[in-house]
């Protein structure tokens, strides 16, 4: 391994392991006393959710992995670069598991997971360690994955009202490519990248709720800067464990052991490789239907891992599911145990101070402070940059101004940002504020404001300059407009007569002529009032 400093931690702390002996034993005792914890240690990953489908209850489990954003990999100084296109570039003896290597813990990865735990209101473990999960697969030829088994970094917490079982830290495997004929290509750039795994409790009620949970988690990971969590890039991966059973035999209160769960809730099937939120929802719905139909026709659900076939819009069998005891977990002897309270970088109190405003807090604040509509607030929560721009523009302004600003941002500006060359860039706050002020004070019509904004966005001039240059400033000077009104009234005596005889539409014609005379620059409200006065 090179001497280059990445964000790795404890490069020479191998000898510290023994210092934690007493602590380990204490935790082990606590652990054994808690049947609740043991019961929840089924790492095949259940998040269960119940859905009522006719006479059946579906129990669905989700397990979510997210690649963490760090400079280097989980246990070595190889770069963590998801954009690297050349295969097997970011590798070293550690992530290739050559003999004699010594892994070191990536500090940034631990901090990311602690922050996720804080955001979820979970219990941050004071003692934690890494374990070897032993299995061989072409994408992990070293024969084990470093993960966390008994002592996950985070236990408990909730998101979107869904209770969370645990969040732990592990390393990713290599990427396999299967579409090159009769062989598989392996790219080890991904091997050893820090991976967060989150497992929830069985409390989600529908496929939609599962989708909403995954979306909110993605948002949280992005707010925390913990992961880009793009599902299509595999940076966030959702797996669902799904089972169905007749309603009459499902009673969550009576469930004690995994065996009883299977008996009561049905055999669970794991669906993997769900690479979008839509697919998560579709696969869950499909699998509930498939299992009910299977049981109804006298068949039996097999415990297995299934994939999602996008072309056929159905799940398909991949392999029989391994159970956790086959992995022969044991603590990794090359890594130090961590006692978080003894490491100031990992202290929850310290990390709490680095926490940004969380998505749900921002949502509530935007609704309360600015009186936004739900969908507007949601847009500003989802698009944090746009949200910040809105707040910079709206802070300290009147309710009318805020409403107008929100409207122009969500409709006109968003469409300009999508379509123009400067895609994604917000205009200068001062210019945008000036534009909205011009609308509030009737200097610009709604049409004029849209045209001004388009030029302002493309060329960056101030709205006053643009409106003047393009003759978009509304004329509200009553003296000037009065002359126009008098002229129009004298030009169309017949129409004036019609109006006085009760033909309301004639007024619109006269106003139209007045507007034409003013070359579109007249304030329509002022113009109308002058006509009404002039026609009395």
Interface with Zn ion by CB under 5 A: which residues?
76, 78, 92, 94-95
94 or 116: whose CB is closer to Zn ion?
Answer: 94
**What are the residues facing 177 on neighbouring strands?**
185
Least Å from the CB of residue 235 to Zn ion: 19
Diameter over CA atoms, the chain? 104
What lies within 8 Å, CB to CB, of 350 at 6+ separation is 344
Residue ranges with strand state E in 32-82: 50-53, 56-67
Q: At its nearest, how many Å lie between Zn ion and the CB of residue 76?
A: 3
Measured CA to CA, the distance from residue 384 to residue 376 in angstroms comes to 12
- State which residue, 92 or 485, has the beta carbon closest to Zn ion: 92
Place of tokens 């043991």: 38
- The burial class, CB within 10 Å (0-12 / 13-18 / 19+), for 275 is middle
Q: How would you class 58 by CB atoms within 10 Å of its CB: exposed for 0-12, middle for 13-18, buried for 19 or more?
A: buried
308 beta partners: 315
Q: How far apart are CA 125 and CA 341, in angstroms?
A: 9
The least CB distance from residue 450 to Zn ion, in Å, is 54
- Give the shortest CB-449-to-Zn ion separation in angstroms: 55
Q: Which is nearer to Zn ion, 92 or 301 (CB)?
A: 92
Q: Which residues make beta-bridge pairs with 77?
A: none
Q: Which residue, chain included where needed, has tokens 């054994």? A: 32
Quote the least distance from Cβ 83 to Zn ion, whole Å.
17
Radius of gyration of the chain (CA): 31
Nearer to Zn ion by C-beta: 81 or 228? Answer: 81
Under DSSP, is residue 489 helix (H, G, I), strand (E, B) or coil?
Answer: helix
**Residue 522 and residue 533: Cα distance in Å, rounded?**
16
C-beta of residue 171 within 8 angstroms of C-beta of residue 145: yes
Output the smallest distance, CB 1 to Zn ion, in A. 8
Q: Which is nearer to Zn ion, 117 or 192 (CB)?
A: 192
Q: What does the block give as tokens for 201?
A: 């409790």
Token pair in block for residue 444: 């610009």
- Going by their DSSP bridges, the two strands 269-274 and 304-309 should be labelled as parallel
Taking the least distance from each CB to Zn ion, the nearer of 60 and 76 is 76
> How far is the C-alpha of 536 from the C-alpha of 531, rounded, in Å?
9
CB of 111 to Zn ion, least distance (A): 20
Residue 84 or 342: the one with the smaller Cβ distance to Zn ion is 84
* Beta carbon of residue 101, minimum distance to Zn ion (angstroms, whole number): 9
Q: Name the minimum Å distance from CB 343 to Zn ion.
A: 23
User: Residue 167: beta bridge partners?
Assistant: 154, 198
Query: Least Å distance between CB 189 and Zn ion?
Result: 10
Which residue, 100 or 502, is less far from Zn ion as judged by CB?
Answer: 100
Nearest one of 3, 73, 117 to 358, comparing CA atoms? 117
Please, which residue, 80 or 506, has the CB nearer to Zn ion? 80
Q: What span, in angstroms and rounded, lies between the C-alpha atoms of 211 and 278?
A: 7
Q: Are 348 and 340 in contact (CB under 8 A)?
A: yes
């Amino acid at each position: 391994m090179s001497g280059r400093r990445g964000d790795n931690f404890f490069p020479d702390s191998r000898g510290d392991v023994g210092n934690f002996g007493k602590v380990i034993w204490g935790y082990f005792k606590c652990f054994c006393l808690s049947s609740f914890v043991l019961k929840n240690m089924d790492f095949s990953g259940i998040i269960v959710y119940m859905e009522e489908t006719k006479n059946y209850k579906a129990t669905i489990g989700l397990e979510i992995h997210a690649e963490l954003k760090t400079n280097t990999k989980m246990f070595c100084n190889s770069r963590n670069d998801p954009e690297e296109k050349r295969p097997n570039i970011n590798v070293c003896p550690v992530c290739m598991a050559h003999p004699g290597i010594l892994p070191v813990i990536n500090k940034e990865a631990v901090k990311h997971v602690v922050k996720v735990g804080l955001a979820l209101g979970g219990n941050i473990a004071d003692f934690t360690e890494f374990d070897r999960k032993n299995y061989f697969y072409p994408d992990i030829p070293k024969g084990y994955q470093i993960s966390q088994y008994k002592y996950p970094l985070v236990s408990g917490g909730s998101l979107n009202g869904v209770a969370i079982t645990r969040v732990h830290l592990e390393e990713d495997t290599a990427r396999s490519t299967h579409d090159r004929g009769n062989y598989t290509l392996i790219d080890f750039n991904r091997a050893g990248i820090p991976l967060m795994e989150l497992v929830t409790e069985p409390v989600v009620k529908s496929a939609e709720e599962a989708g909403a949970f995954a979306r909110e988690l993605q948002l949280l990971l992005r707010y925390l800067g913990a992961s880009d969590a793009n599902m299509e890039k595999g940076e966030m991966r959702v797996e669902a464990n799904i089972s169905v059973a007749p309603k009459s035999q499902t009673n969550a209160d009576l469930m004690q052991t995994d065996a009883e769960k299977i008996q009561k809730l049905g055999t669970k099937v794991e669906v993997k490789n769900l690479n979008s939120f839509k697919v998560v929802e579709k696969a869950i719905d499909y699998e509930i239907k498939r299992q009910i139909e299977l049981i109804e026709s006298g068949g039996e659900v097999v415990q297995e891992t299934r994939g999602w076939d996008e072309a056929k819009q159905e799940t398909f069998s991949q392999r029989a599911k391994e159970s956790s005891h086959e992995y022969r977990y044991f603590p990794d002897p090359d890594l130090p145990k961590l006692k978080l309270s003894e490491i100031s970088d990992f202290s929850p109190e310290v990390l709490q101070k680095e926490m940004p405003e969380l998505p749900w807090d921002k949502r509530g604040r935007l609704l309360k402070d600015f009186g936004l509509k739900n969908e507007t607030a949601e847009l500003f929560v989802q698009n944090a940059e746009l949200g910040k721009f809105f707040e910079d523009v709206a802070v300290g302004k009147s309710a009318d101004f805020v409403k107008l600003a929100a409207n122009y941002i969500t409709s006109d500006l968003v469409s300009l940002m999508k379509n123009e060359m400067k895609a994604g860039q917000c205009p200068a706050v001062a210019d945008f504020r000036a534009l909205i002020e011009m609308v509030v004070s009737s200097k610009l019509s709604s049409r004029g404001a849209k045209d001004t904004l388009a030029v302002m966005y493309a060329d960056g001039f101030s709205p006053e300059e643009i409106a003047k240059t393009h003759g978009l400033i509304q004329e509200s000077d009553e003296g000037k407009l009065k002359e126009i009104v008098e002229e129009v009234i004298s030009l169309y005596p017949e129409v004036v007569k019609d109006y006085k005889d009760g033909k309301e539409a004639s007024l619109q014609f006269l106003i139209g002529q007045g507007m034409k005379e003013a070359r579109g620059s007249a304030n329509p409200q002022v113009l109308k009032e002058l006509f009404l006065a002039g026609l009395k």
